[in-house]
């Protein structure tokens, strides 16, 4: 029987996202995903002092603000003709690294894990772990009749196949609790050099306003050591454990396989060398990225501005009553292709190019343990595995970057703002390829456009009717019970959507 199921809102993600699934014979035939809220940051920026941009765009999101600051500064630096000195570049990498680690741990434990683990065994817990005991007490204090836990984040949830082993569930719950501390530590670590987080006033065009001292380096590194231990001994093993428990999900949620990475974390002053390298995977072939090939379609988006415009020409004119539109996200396309952004893209581009021996070894070891191949990474659990690998590679490198800082050396360069000019800045936010495009006139912002990883991933259909990457990954999925579309939410959440960013 054909049914149409709406999940609205889909919870445990950032922002407001609705999913409509047309299900027939237990299989998703078509998926439509919709960002449900207009924000208007690009309009807010018009006419302002360009130096407001890296501050205002950070407010697009509380999860990935540092990446917005860095993309904005890079776009401005392209106009001002400057780059940060080594200390400034390293400080940015260290702050962005801290923010990305926080985001990845948040995503796996606090947004996605509850799709797989069952919290119920906590209610029967007889052990001595004080944190589990206090969670059990909290649950009891929240419970109504019948032992239900009516409050989020644990309920309501879809019924379906969760982990059944009580000990494994308790272990995951324990790590869920530990992950709060790791996120807090990540923020503290980033704030050593950012001044404060999540929104950092210290990141400015030309570098970072904070100074470097031996005590700050030691402070950063001592926190990082704790975080790296968690990544190595908890996060990565847990992702593998999940892949062992849910082997089907190394096939469910297959995307187009066309991937986009802008690259991030410059390793030298010019930024030609980066820790995460840019690249595209299209039809199984690795290519270089040329941003000129990016356009944004709006045929099915609530905008009356022109469709298929390149970012410098693109405008964002809201039209809430537009016929046939169903999402507030635009549909970015690269040479007409719907590319997937995210750690899967960066990790696979680098893996296939054999550019980073750590990524190759980590991924090969994990795949060997699971009896899977690199092709299986194009899947729901492949996205989680890639995120964990990226998290480790960034955390490990942060430790080395901290050693490269030179106390008392400059952390920023001065600059002049020209009358006019245009530039763009690209980076890898936690959720993937992020770009900001700025044009100045009379030393003010004439236009500002952001293209965001979740806009790529959760885009609606484009001018040619081509579904966005998440819509595509959902289509063809078997759903055991259309009243409980657990498979669908697992697929969507594995992309780590942020609609606050996507509809900026
Ligand atoms: Ni709001 Fe963001 C997205 C990330 S863009 S979380 O999508 O990561 O910087």
Residue to mutate, 57, 501, 503, ligand 1, most ligand atoms under 8 Å from C-beta: 501
| pLDDT score for 152 | 59
- How many angstroms from the chain centroid is the CA of residue 145? 39
CB of residue 454 inside a 6 A radius of ligand 1: yes
CB of residue 498 inside a 6 A radius of ligand 1: yes
- How many angstroms from the chain centroid is the CA of residue 132? 29
Is 47:492 a contact under the CB 8 Å cutoff? no
3-class DSSP state for residue 227? helix
CA of 107 to the centre of ligand 1 (A): 12
CB of residue 67 inside a 6 A radius of ligand 1: yes
pLDDT in tens, the chain (504 residues): 899 999 999 989 988 999 999 999 999 999 999 999 899 999 999 999 999 999 999 999 999 999 999 999 999 999 999 999 999 999 999 999 999 999 999 999 999 999 999 998 998 999 999 999 999 988 888 766 455 555 556 777 899 999 999 999 999 999 999 999 999 999 999 999 999 999 999 999 999 999 999 999 999 999 999 999 999 999 999 999 999 999 999 999 999 999 999 999 999 999 999 999 999 999 999 999 999 999 999 999 999 999 999 999 999 999 999 999 999 999 999 999 999 999 999 999 999 999 999 999 999 999 999 999 999 999 999 999 999 999 999 999 999 999 999 998 999 999 999 999 999 999 999 999 999 999 999 999 999 999 999 999 999 999 999 999 999 999 999 999 999 999 999 999 999 999 999 999
CA of 449 to the centre of ligand 1 (A): 15
Q: Which atom of ligand 1 is nearest to the CA of 502?
A: 7
CB of residue 84 inside a 6 A radius of ligand 1: no
CB of residue 500 inside a 6 A radius of ligand 1: yes
CA of 454 to the centre of ligand 1 (A): 7
State the first-to-last Cα distance of the chain, in angstroms, to the nearest integer.
Answer: 38
CA of 148 to the centre of ligand 1 (A): 34
CB of residue 430 inside a 6 A radius of ligand 1: yes
Q: Which atom of ligand 1 is nearest to the CA of 430?
A: 8
CB of residue 453 inside a 6 A radius of ligand 1: yes
CB of residue 458 inside a 6 A radius of ligand 1: no
Angle formed by the axes of helices 236-245 and 357-370, nearest 10°: 30
Residue to mutate, 41, 60, 61, ligand 1, most ligand atoms under 8 Å from C-beta: 61
Q: How far is CA 384 from CA 237, 367, 391, in A?
A: 12, 13, 11
CB of residue 497 inside a 6 A radius of ligand 1: no
| pLDDT score for 149 | 52
CB of residue 501 inside a 6 A radius of ligand 1: yes
**Whose Cα sits closest to atom 7 in ligand 1?**
454
| pLDDT score for 144 | 60
CA of 60 to the centre of ligand 1 (A): 9
| pLDDT score for 145 | 46
| pLDDT score for 60 | 97
Angle at the Cα of 245 from the Cα atoms of 241 and 247, rounded to 5 degrees: 110
Which residues, including other chains, have CB under 8 Å from residue 393's CB and lie 6 or more apart?
Answer: 275, 276, 356, 358, 359, 362
Q: How far is CA 199 from CA 58, 128, 314, 451, in A?
A: 6, 39, 27, 20
H-helix or E-strand spanning residue 283: none
Is 5:470 a contact under the CB 8 Å cutoff? no
Which residues, including other chains, have CB under 8 Å from residue 361's CB and lie 6 or more apart?
Answer: none
CA of 494 to the centre of ligand 1 (A): 14
Q: How far apart are CA 230 and CA 295, in angstroms?
A: 40
CB of residue 499 inside a 6 A radius of ligand 1: no
CB of residue 260 inside a 6 A radius of ligand 1: no
Burial environment of residue 196 by CB neighbours within 10 A (0 to 12, 13 to 18, 19 or more): exposed
Q: How far is CA 177 from CA 104, 107, 131, 182, 184, in A?
A: 15, 13, 8, 9, 12
CB of residue 452 inside a 6 A radius of ligand 1: yes
């Amino acid at each position: 029987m054909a049914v149409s199921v709406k999940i609205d809102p889909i919870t445990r993600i950032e922002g407001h996202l609705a999913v409509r699934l047309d299900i027939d014979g237990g299989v998703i035939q078509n998926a439509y995903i919709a960002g449900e809220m207009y924000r208007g940051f690009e309009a807010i920026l018009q006419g302002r002092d360009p130096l407001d941009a890296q501050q205002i765009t950070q407010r697009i999101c509380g999860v990935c603000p540092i990446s917005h600051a860095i993309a904005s500064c890079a776009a401005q630096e392209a106009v001002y003709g400057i780059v940060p000195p080594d200390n400034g570049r390293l400080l940015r990498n260290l702050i962005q690294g801290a923010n990305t680690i926080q985001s990845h741990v948040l995503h796996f434990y606090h947004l996605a894990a509850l799709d797989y683990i069952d919290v119920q065994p906590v209610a029967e817990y007889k052990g001595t772990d004080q944190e589990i005991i206090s969670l059990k007490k909290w649950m009891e204090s929240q419970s109504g009749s019948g032992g239900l836990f009516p409050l989020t984040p644990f309920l309501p949830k879809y019924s379906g196949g969760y982990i059944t082993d009580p000990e494994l569930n308790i272990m995951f719950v324990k790590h869920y609790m530990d992950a709060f501390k790791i996120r807090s530590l990540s923020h503290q670590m980033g704030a050593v050099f950012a001044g404060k987080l999540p929104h950092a006033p210290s990141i400015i065009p030309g570098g970072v306003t904070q100074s470097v001292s031996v005590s700050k380096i030691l402070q950063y590194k001592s926190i990082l050591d704790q975080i790296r231990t968690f990544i190595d001994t908890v996060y990565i093993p847990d992702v593998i454990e999940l892949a062992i428990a849910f082997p089907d999900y190394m096939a469910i949620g297959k995307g187009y396989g066309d991937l986009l990475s802008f690259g991030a974390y410059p390793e030298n002053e010019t930024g030609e060398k980066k820790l995460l390298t840019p690249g595209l995977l299209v039809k199984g072939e690795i290519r270089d990225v040329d941003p000129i090939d990016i356009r944004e379609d709006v045929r099915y988006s609530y905008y009356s501005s022109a469709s298929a415009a390149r970012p410098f020409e693109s405008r964002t004119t809201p039209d809430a009553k537009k016929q046939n539109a169903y999402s507030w996200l635009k549909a970015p396309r690269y040479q007409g292709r719907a590319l997937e952004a995210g750690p899967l893209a960066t990790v696979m581009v680098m893996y296939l190019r054999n550019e980073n021996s750590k990524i190759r070894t980590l991924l090969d070891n994990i795949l060997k343990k699971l009896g899977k191949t690199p092709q299986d990474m194009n899947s729901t659990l492949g996205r989680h595995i890639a995120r964990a690998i990226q998290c480790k590679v960034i955390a490990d490198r942060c430790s080395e970057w901290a050693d490269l800082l030179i106390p008392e050396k400059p952390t920023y360069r001065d600059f002049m703002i020209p009358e006019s000019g245009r530039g763009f800045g690209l980076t890898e936010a936690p959720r993937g390829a992020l770009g900001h495009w700025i044009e100045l006139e009379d030393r003010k912002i004439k236009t500002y456009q952001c293209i965001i990883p979740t806009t790529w991933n959760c885009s609606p259909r484009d001018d040619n009717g081509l579904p966005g990457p998440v819509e595509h990954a959902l289509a063809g999925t078997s759903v055991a019970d259309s009243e409980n579309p657990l498979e669908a939410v697992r697929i969507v959440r594995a992309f780590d959507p942020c609609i606050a960013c996507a509809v900026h």
